[in-house]
Homo-oligomer: A and B are copies of this chain.
Amino acid sequence: MYRTHTCGELRIQNKLNKVILSGWVQRMRELGAMTFIDLRDRYGITQLVVDDKSTDEVRKITAELGREFVIQAEGEVKERSSKNPKIPTGDIEIAVEKITVLNKSEIPPFTIEDNSDGGDDLRMKYRYLDLRRNPLKQALILRHKMAQEVRRYLDSQNFLEIETPYLIKSTPEGARDFVVPSRVNAGEFYALPQSPQTFKQILMVAGYDRYFQIVRCFRDEDLRADRQPEFTQIDCEMSFVEQKDVLQMFEGLAKHLFKNVLNVELQEITQMTYADAMKYYGSDKPDIRFDMKLHEITELAKGKGFSLFDNSEYIGAICAKGCSAYTRKQIDELTEWVKRPQIGATGLIYIRLGEDGIKSSIDKFFTTEQLQEIANETSAQQGDLILVLCGAKKKTQGQLGSLRLEMGNRLGLRDAKLFVPLWVVDFPLFEWDNDTQRFYAMHHPFTSPKPEHIDKFYSSNNEDIENVNANAYDFVVNGVELGGGSIRIFDRNLQQRMFEILGFTPEAAESQFGFLMNAFKYGAPPHGGIAFGFDRFCAMFGGSDSIRDYIAFPKNNNGRDVMIDSPSPIDNSQLEELSIKLDLKKR
């Protein structure tokens, strides 16, 4: 037997017990003739003591121990003379009677502490050592808890967890697929799913009523920071539901998770239309922990002879409360901030409501009364600072939205301990792409139009089609989109029209999605669902912006697993069996 207890288990009640512990040497301290060893396992740390009452054998082995050695120690539980109230086992220590080295360790390439001295690349390569650190361990334990609670809730609501296949079919719509050459069917390929979308709809057609899965999805995208080629979704679908039924069910899930994982009582989830989100927050995922809404001042600001404004489609302002004392330097710095390529604004106008009255960077063109009108529009009061951006409407709203978040950060308005959820609804069904001169589905091609927009959906006029709203919804918390879904098309003709608008030939639609449209012939029920980004959900619960710490074995920004050194070349015999060969171009 390797242990009678874990390293997080012993308390003062265990005093005088003979115990066996196994674990890793976290650190060692010598104090005169005494050696203290912090023994660590997943459950905690327990102090071992070797002193002059220990046997020669024990002292000899102890002298040869090093960090991260795996040892087994046998001894008696004693009350500590100087207790450590910071750890649950801090009242006791083990007087070691026998010690065995189960495995040695070379000196780790970085310290296994909450704040390691190892760089990112090194820690990725030695992921097994990085994973020993508390922050990563807590992240994965949190993820485990989340997964169990997701299942507990959905199981209690009669959802069935049903596994859908990973070897499916490539469809060019959407992001790039990872593909898998078939050996048995030479020249043919499977694709890894970007989501189980069509399968979950098929399950609704099959009458399964409520489905869920915590499922891996794959996208062969050029990786940006914090995107992973494989990621995990909580994927759900329900039959015989309208939008409000879905929102209610998953409001329940969100509340369950916040309550049972974080012990947070989530407030009622408000709904906001996509149009309002863009208008008031310059974002389709507004952070509504703080106000500071966008105010359009185009009417008030245009035609005053300031050519930058006069040539703009849109002029918008936010009011930063209590910031009238911002220095020239601070404002210059903000101006640089909005001019960075990530934001892309051409400049920043300010109006200051100081003790000495209204001052602005556009005093030359505006009277005090005109500035006051703008101030009134933004509800600014003495002591506030108004920040103004102008340009093309959509772009400027986005820039102002980013500036709003930045000001929220600077003013400490984005409380990490506060969670404010939101449903964003009434998305447009389509986005027009100028480059390819075609419509794309904003959500995906299976999302149904709003019933009241069906006429426009069948219109031959592009402007009508652009104005069709979708029966779609996003779940947003603190400015982060955690999930999204829609009520689906369940009518074969409507689905065909959708593919037509997206520029599919009938043949292409048939070859890629024929099975779904066929299924719609045989009694498809009304249905809808949602998918949550599980990695991001976990990161948000853990208080982190980065999903990487919440994935046990993430890939780097080149899609490489540097620990196992993958991807890697394969044998020619393997290629041959798969009926493919390499086709490398000099680049």
Contact = CB atoms under 8 A, between A and B. Distances in A.
A131 B203 contact: yes
A152 to B, nearest CB: 8
Nearest to A562: B515
Contact of A161 (B144, B180, B182, B584): B144
Interface string A148-188: 10010001000011111111111010001111111111111
Contacts of A190: 178, 566-567
B131 A165 contact: no
A523 B128 CA distance: 10
A522 B566 contact: no
A180 B192 contact: yes
A69 B526 contact: no
A555 interface: yes
Contact of A2 (B70, B180, B240): B240
A480 interface: no
Interface in A116-132: 126-129, 131-132
Contact of A209 (B41, B558, B568): B41
B102 A522 contact: no
A163 to B, nearest CB: 6
Contacts of A566: 167-169, 190-191
Contacts of A24: 207, 523, 525
Given A105-B521, A189-B568, A563 B70 contact: no
A220 interface: yes
Contact of A553 (B164, B216, B560): B164
Contact of A141 (B22, B131, B160, B240): B160
| Contact size range, A | 35 or more
A43 B240 CA distance: 13
Interface stretch (A74-82, A91-99, A460-468, A569-577): A569-577
A522 B129 contact: yes
16 contacts: A42-B207, A42-B208, A69-B523, A103-B523, A104-B523, A128-B203, A128-B519, A166-B166, A167-B178, A168-B564, A169-B566, A179-B574, A189-B569, A579-B582, A580-B580, A580-B582
10 smallest beta-carbon distances between A and B, as pairs: A105-B523, A131-B206, A188-B567, A2-B240, A169-B566, A182-B567, A68-B523, A42-B209, A581-B583, A128-B206
Interface of A: 1-3, 6, 22, 24, 40-43, 68-70, 102-106, 108, 126-129, 131-132, 137, 140-141, 143-144, 147-148, 151, 155, 160-170, 172, 176-192, 198-199, 202-203, 205-210, 216, 218, 220, 222-223, 229-230, 232, 240-242, 245, 490-491, 514-515, 519-526, 551-553, 555, 558-561, 563-571, 574-585
Given A178-B190, A515-B563, A581-B583, 8 more contacts: A70-B524, A106-B522, A132-B206, A163-B552, A167-B566, A176-B574, A185-B559, A186-B585
